[in-house]
Amino acid sequence: MFNRGAHLSTRRCPVDQDTLRILLREAVRETVAEVLQTVLELDRTAFLQVHGGRRNGYYPRKLETTFGQVDLKVPRDRESRYYPAFLKPYARRLVDVGEVAVALYAAGVSQRKAAEILSLLLGHRYSHETLSALTDEVLEAAGAFRTRPLPEEMAFVYLDGLSLKVFREGEGIVRESVYVALGIAPDGERRVLGFWLLPTESALGWEGVLGELWQRGLRRVLLFITDGLPGLPAASPSGEHRKAIRRVYPQAEWQRCVVHGVRWSLSQVRARDRGLLAEDLRRVYGAESREEALGALEEVKAAWGSRYPGVVGLWVEESGAFLRFYGYPKVLWPYLRSTNLMERFIRELRRGTKVRDHKFPKEEAVYKLLYLESERQAASRSEHLAGRWAERKLKGFSEVKEVLEKMLQERYAPRTQTLTHNS
């Protein structure tokens, strides 16, 4: 992805207007359509609230902007009274300003500095207050996204986090953690459940995140999948760390990421032993059944236990967490035994927020950026806005959808789950 933050700095080498136009065009190319689509949705909603009426789908429209052609899905109403104002020819200039403003914001440029750049680029003076207004709709959409009601059930939930630097009044630049939850429905639909900015990753922080998921409506989960997050089961075999999930979702199971377990194990042994140990561990998590996996684990214990007791001890003590995926349909094992699906999402999220060494001027800036990046990832790369990432279902789930629904019903039907999380 284009490294926007690195190229937009003008402190060390001045950038002429032509170069600046090229850089901004590249910076906005992957986000402008998603931002405009969000504005369209908000605009139609506001229109219907004032004038009444009902939604009536969309029609395709190509829009020429200063950054190239974008494909949009223009919302309609049944009475054909609604038409987005910014698509009218006389309002086209406003679109250009909005695109640049959002691009600069996404690049981590302060609003005051962005106003200066816009004056240079467009020949008109804009205040940083005007630019703030242009991005307010994004903040509102981000707020609605973070507080929206959730489905009552998800088959699987991945939990992970990343670290960012945020400016805090009176503290300066501080490092804080972004907590991310990604859900998979029984039919394989992927959904970003939410993201939270908190001082540090901890059991207390994750328990609060899980409690919010519960309060927003998510009541039934089969399996949580994590890596080595502080405060989560995967971080330590200690029962204390397991409370973060067990206190809020006591009937849910959790899977420890096998890939992270292997990586850590190989980092603890001599270089000459890594290949053989990796092969032996692969026979554990690559077995055809849990029983076969436990047999392979006994062989690992016999072959490596005396040489690397700490490594082997981890796999023996945590065998239940490492091998939990065997209790689910085989076609889903590749998704469940690791956090790779979440890691790909986090990697793109981190790349999209890699601006000015991850420094953000305020908390709202983080939420705007995370929302825009989540929406950008949600857009289909092959068919621009023809489909959403969250609507494209994972392979294999259609075969076992009824099985997962039955598992959820059987696990949660006997009694009503009670939230024990202390708010």
- The lowest-confidence range among 78-87, 348-357, 412-421 is 412-421
Specify the 3-state DSSP secondary structure of 226: strand
Domain range summary for the chain, segments of one domain joined by +? 4-146, 150-257+339-412
Contact (CB, 8 A) for 121 and 100: yes
Q: Which residue has the higher pLDDT, 45 or 93?
A: 45
pLDDT of residue 9: 38
Q: Which parts of 75-127 fold into alpha helices (H)? A: 92-106, 111-122
pLDDT of residue 418: 47
pLDDT of residue 381: 36
pLDDT of residue 242: 63
List pLDDT tens digits, range 274-318.
999 999 999 999 999 999 999 999 999 999 999 999 999 999 999
> Given the structure tokens 């804009």, which residue do they identify?
126
pLDDT of residue 384: 39
What mean pLDDT comes out for the span 225-250? 64
DSSP letter for 378, please. H
pLDDT of residue 143: 79
List pLDDT tens digits, range 112-135.
666 665 555 444 555 666 666 656
> Of 235, 281, 284, nearest to 257 (Cα)?
235
CATH 3.30.420.10 fits 150-257+339-412, yes or no: yes
Q: Which residues contact 60 (CB under 8 A, 6 or more apart)?
A: 71, 72, 73, 74
Distance CA 217, CA 150 (A): 5
List pLDDT tens digits, range 35-59.
677 777 877 887 787 788 888 888 8
pLDDT of residue 420: 46
Distance CA 124, CA 127 (A): 10
Helices H / strands E in the chain, number of each = 17, 8
Distance CA 59, CA 52 (A): 20
Distance CA 111, CA 134 (A): 11
The answer on pLDDT for 77 being more than 70 is yes
> Of 71, 74, 72, 124, nearest to 100 (Cα)?
124
Reported confidence tier of residue 390, pLDDT bands at 50, 70, 90:
very low
- For the chain, the 3-state helix, strand and coil shares in percent, each to the nearest 5, are 55, 15, 30
Distances (CA, A) of 322 to 256, 262, 335, 338: 5, 10, 13, 9
In the chain, the N- to C-terminal Cα span, in Å, equals 40
Q: Which residues contact 381 (CB under 8 A, 6 or more apart)?
A: none
Vertex 301, ends 226 and 262: CA angle to 5°?
Answer: 30
